[in-house]
Structure 1
Amino acid sequence: MIFRVVKLLVICCWVVLLVVLVKKDFLVSTLDSAEQEVLTLAKYQQYYGVYLQEKRIGYVMEDIRPDGEDGLHIHQEASLRLKVLNSVQPITMNLSAKVGKGLQLRTFEFSFSSPFYSTTANGRVEGNTVYFSLDTGGAIMEDTLTLQGPPVLPLNQRSYLLSGVKEKGDKLKVPFFDPFSLSAKTSVVTYKGREKKLLHKRIYNIHLFTESYAGMQTEFWLDDEGKVVRERSPAGFVFQAEPKFKAMDIQDSGDELLSAVAVQYTGKLFQENSTKAVFQLQFPTEAEVELNGGRQHFVDGKLTLNKEVFPPSSGGENIASENSCAGDDATLQASRYVQSDDPALQAKAQEIVGEETDPARQVALLTDWVYNNLEKRPVIGLPDALTTLKSGKGDCNEHAALFAALARSLNIPTTIAAGVTLQNDSFYYHAWNEVCLVGQWLSLDTTVNQIPADLYHIRFTRGDLEGQLAIGALIGKLQIEILPAQE
């Protein structure tokens, strides 16, 4: 059992990797109407091979057909094979949408399926507002999102970008609605000029663009007609326009996904009983990180962690004021994926703590229950607490979401921490929790039943799913050096 739990640290599969992978081909954007361009082709179909470490692991298909006199029917599908801890995980995605004049979105249906997880979503657009419903199999959620303008479905025909830029360095802001995470964000697209690129053993002089989103950056190349011919994500995934027979010839599941994005470190490991740790960190300046707060102090590239004491005391050196972290609405309120107001979750929390009223003891009871009652499985999908409670399985993301919902239902301020932790000889991306007790933020990890979490847990961001996506900016760019604590 201990071996399985330790291995689970390796297989906490970050949903951000998949969001980065699919968002370019499964997204709904808002563009200035002056930049919109009506698709001129009556019929259109394009296939893209998906590569990881130069191995074709899947494909994406886009099909466009007329729908009445003034509309189009869009169908996109993707099939992937990802290797997670040497276990091949098949993933399928489908998007069906109807658009009107100017490619403005009218309705959409989206489905996602992977081992141990599946979800469907559908929605309609009225003006600038998207009304949608999400079914995870364990929970049904209904919500709305209002964008800056009527949502437009950008296709792999993106000639509107060529008409929107004039010279190298020009930028465009593109707000979008993503039907996978059902969230709205704004990305910045920058024109980098023409670049000679070797594709299919031929050299093409094509247009290079970069897109920045939550600190992450993707690259894509357009031909003179505005069609995407190649795209590369921060996680190392590559999309390449190909004939159908070639794109659908899935060769492999690629190399181990999580090992590919693991962070090697330098320096000497410290003792397990250490109460202080110091790290030298290097990462992109545009990364939206939250390194200060709680037990962490970051200055001039150096991060110091002081291990907390559990249960915490309201007195002593370096203890914050009694109300320094209590009462933060975001850490007490229910959210789309942390449904602390759901009766089933509230009842389960009360069942776990019984008549115990001391918040520190409640935290200990909840941590122990989540650790012992969730089957340790890698789940590629959007982690939500209610579905996790019903399924009884998950990786670090599901553990953290479920604990947050249970604790918030007892009025304990709780957040989800996202960062890295040490496993064997590398740091892997991971999720855990922080709770506010007697005015102090205290870390804990329900995946391995640690209160407080050990000092190799380095937090880079806090928040529910939307806040966690910022960690994607670190992929492939984070450097960690362990320094002697006395420095």
Structure 2
Amino acid sequence: MTERHDRPGFPLIKIGLFILWMTLFSMLLGRDYFIETIDTREAAALERAERTVFQGIYFKDNKIGYVENQFLPEGEQIVLRQKAHMQLNISAQTHVIDLDMEATLDSGNRLQTFTFTFSSPFYRMAAAGQVDGNTVSYTLETGSSTIQDSMVLAKPPLLATTRRAYLLIQGIESGEKRRIPWFDPISLTAKESILEYRGKEQVLIHGRIFNLHRFNENFSGARVSSWLDDEGNVVKEESPAGFVFLKEPEFKAKQIDSESTELLSSVAVQIVGEMIDLGSTTVAHYRLSLPDDHQFILNHGRQQFTDGLLIVTLETIPETSTDEQVPLGFEKYLAATPYIQADAENIIAKSTELTSGATTSLEKVKMLADWVHNALEKRPVIGIPDAVTTLNNLRGDCNEHASLFAALSRAAGVPTQIAVGVVYHKEAFYYHAWNEVYLAGQWVSLDTTTNQFPADLSHLRFTGGGLQEQALIGSLLGSLKIEPLPNKQ
């Protein structure tokens, strides 16, 4: 990789696509696994009352798809079948998305098993899972890789559907909050949300006024509002990213608009004031406005953050020796994960091939970064990024670049992690992912999508790690403000 601070002319692909995907499908697939004690027999009866429910999916007032939910009682169990169809405008191209899910619930609405398939351009996925007590185990197939994993929740997960009358039956009071652990089968991560009842309010939907119960839910830092009628039916759901789900009759739900708003640019962060000249300085200052309850650690590596002021200092790439030691406690930055498969045979073989002749960590990093940047076709891919699938397909956006480089670099013995934040592009900041490598006692940023080592001063890191940590960036949608400040003379 050439050490450079300019950005090539191809369109920048952003993690905003991944974050929007996570937000949208967390809304799609029963993300509320309520742990509060409820009258399970009464709740199950309520869930069975309405067998088929349709929802229209809107983005910025354009209909982009629909969801069909079927509730089928089978003895003491309920089978939930869900189909979703969407047409997403991404970089002025229509991406058709289809999802099919089936979940088995016991008489108390506790999740027992689930299967789902997901398809989008350039990506196919199938998953199956089961619950044993508090443990959720699953297998994910992408056609190129098989991922098996499990996680332990605080309590057995319950699955909420579009009928949530049990929330009202419990006599919840306005302002009351509940903390809820849950498992998301779409992102395959365990999370925690906070649900707050806000009382009844009038809501205008399709020209009609409804008097509905409002619930606000905070999951992974992102806020979703839901409105229920007196019978507990979900009439409307809305996320800060601009997605809205409305309960509609089948004929209306399936009427998709021929044109819709482009997704990525619509959630880009517009700057306050003017952008600094990145090529004329090695230090950048930004004034940030963040959610009050944010969980981000911005003091990391080259960044310093105090009282809303972020200072970013461009790194000097250090020389490394042939006998560089990995610090104690850094083993996790070399370890394989379900999506950064540093121990996969083809990953190890490719890493070994590409770093043949390298004698230092720095040489390995440059060889691997160069290859990832040049080998991957720059295309938006809607799906869960993993290194093995990306190596086989050789296409993707920033998420695929970052996952593949992390796996190859870890396989070569270089501590590596994925950084997530924003980057400046075409007069706005876009959500983005890149890498950090540990060289000669310091973390150094590296972006294989834009071919920058170190990454330029517009790469603002908010978090790092795996899918669960990356999903936190969703809390910034609609709330992050960035003001570049002139450098002090």
Settle same-fold status: TM greater than 0.5.
yes
Please list, as runs of the form range in 1=range in 2, the aligned pairs for 1:238-317 lying within 5 A after superposition: 238-265=244-271, 266-312=273-319
Q: Alignment partner of 1:24: what SS?
A: helix
CA contact (8 A) 1:165 1:191 kept: no
Partner of 1:115: 121
1:17 and 2:20 correspond: yes
Q: 1:84 aligns with which of 62, 84, 90?
A: 90
1:138 and 2:141 correspond: no
Q: Which segment drifts farther, 398-407 or 101-110?
A: 101-110
Partner of 1:319: none
1:207-235, Cα deviation, whole Å (9 max, x unpaired): 01100012110111010111100000121
CA contact (8 A) 1:324 1:440 kept: no
Letter of the 2:250 counterpart? K
Letter of the 1:185 counterpart? K
1:435-481, Cα deviation, whole Å (9 max, x unpaired): 11011010010012111001111111111221111111111111111
Partner of 2:369: 367
Letter of the 2:63 counterpart? R
Please list, as runs of the form range in 1=range in 2, the aligned pairs for 1:309-328 lying within 5 A after superposition: 309-312=316-319, 327-328=329-330
Q: 1:446 aligns with which of 431, 436, 448?
A: 448
Tell me by how many angstroms 1:48 deviates.
Answer: 0.5
Q: Distance in 2 between matches of 1:20 and 1:6?
A: 29
Q: 2:391 aligns with which of 389, 392, 413?
A: 389
Partner of 2:403: 401
Q: Which segment drifts farther, 88-97 or 146-155?
A: 146-155
Q: 2:36 aligns with which of 13, 22, 32?
A: 32
Letter of the 1:17 counterpart? L
Tell me by how many angstroms 1:364 deviates.
Answer: 0.6
Letter of the 2:121 counterpart? P
CA contact (8 A) 2:128 2:140 kept: yes
CA contact (8 A) 1:10 1:258 kept: no
Change (3 A) 1:360 1:147: same
TM-score of the two chains, using structure 1 as the length reference: 0.94
Q: Which segment drifts farther, 419-428 or 18-27?
A: 18-27
Tell me by how many angstroms 1:103 deviates.
Answer: 1.5
Q: Alignment partner of 1:175: what SS?
A: strand
Tell me by how many angstroms 1:312 deviates.
Answer: 4.6
Tell me by how many angstroms 1:86 deviates.
Answer: 0.3
Tell me by how many angstroms 1:379 deviates.
Answer: 0.5
1:173 and 2:179 correspond: yes
Tell me by how many angstroms 1:11 deviates.
Answer: 4.9
Q: Alignment partner of 1:362: what SS?
A: helix
Letter of the 2:356 counterpart? G
Q: Distance in 2 between matches of 1:267 and 1:325?
A: 41
Q: How many residues align?
A: 477
Partner of 1:158: 164
1:329-357, Cα deviation, whole Å (9 max, x unpaired): 33221111111111110111010000312
CA contact (8 A) 1:30 1:148 kept: no
Q: Which segment drifts farther, 396-405 or 328-337?
A: 328-337
Q: Which segment drifts farther, 46-55 or 101-110?
A: 101-110
Q: Distance in 1 between matches of 2:135 and 2:188?
A: 13
Partner of 2:229: 223
Q: Alignment partner of 2:38: what SS?
A: helix
Q: Alignment partner of 1:346: what SS?
A: helix
Q: Alignment partner of 1:142: what SS?
A: strand
Tell me by how many angstroms 1:8 deviates.
Answer: 3.3
Tell me by how many angstroms 1:164 deviates.
Answer: 3.6
Partner of 1:380: 382
Tell me by how many angstroms 1:280 deviates.
Answer: 0.8
Tell me by how many angstroms 1:390 deviates.
Answer: 0.5
Where does the alignment leave 5 or more consecutive residues of structure 2 unmatched? Answer: 1-5
Tell me by how many angstroms 1:35 deviates.
Answer: 5.2
Partner of 1:465: 467
Q: Distance in 1 between matches of 2:195 and 2:157?
A: 17
Partner of 2:3: none
TM-score of the two chains, using structure 2 as the length reference: 0.93
Report sequence identity in percent. 43
Q: Which segment drifts farther, 121-130 or 55-64?
A: 121-130
1:214 and 2:220 correspond: yes
CA contact (8 A) 2:190 2:468 kept: no
Change (3 A) 1:404 1:38: same
Tell me by how many angstroms 1:402 deviates.
Answer: 0.4
1:133-163, Cα deviation, whole Å (9 max, x unpaired): 1101111011222222222221110112223
CA contact (8 A) 1:91 1:113 kept: yes
1:75 and 2:77 correspond: no
Q: Distance in 1 between matches of 2:309 and 2:386?
A: 34
Q: Distance in 2 between matches of 1:379 and 1:454?
A: 24
Tell me by how many angstroms 1:271 deviates.
Answer: 4.3
RMSD: 2.0
Q: Distance in 2 between matches of 1:8 and 1:327?
A: 38
1:369-388, Cα deviation, whole Å (9 max, x unpaired): 10011111110111100100
1:65 and 2:68 correspond: no
Q: Which segment drifts farther, 304-313 or 369-378?
A: 304-313
CA contact (8 A) 2:80 2:104 kept: yes
Tell me by how many angstroms 1:30 deviates.
Answer: 4.3
Q: Alignment partner of 1:335: what SS?
A: coil
Tell me by how many angstroms 1:101 deviates.
Answer: 0.9
Q: Alignment partner of 1:272: what SS?
A: helix
Q: Distance in 2 between matches of 1:104 and 1:27?
A: 12
Letter of the 1:102 counterpart? G
1:15-66, Cα deviation, whole Å (9 max, x unpaired): 2212211213313624234354213435511101111111101001111112
Partner of 1:318: none
Letter of the 1:195 counterpart? E
Q: Alignment partner of 2:45: what SS?
A: coil
Change (3 A) 1:475 1:6: farther
Letter of the 1:398 counterpart? E
Where does the alignment leave 5 or more consecutive residues of structure 1 unmatched? Answer: 315-321
Letter of the 1:272 counterpart? G
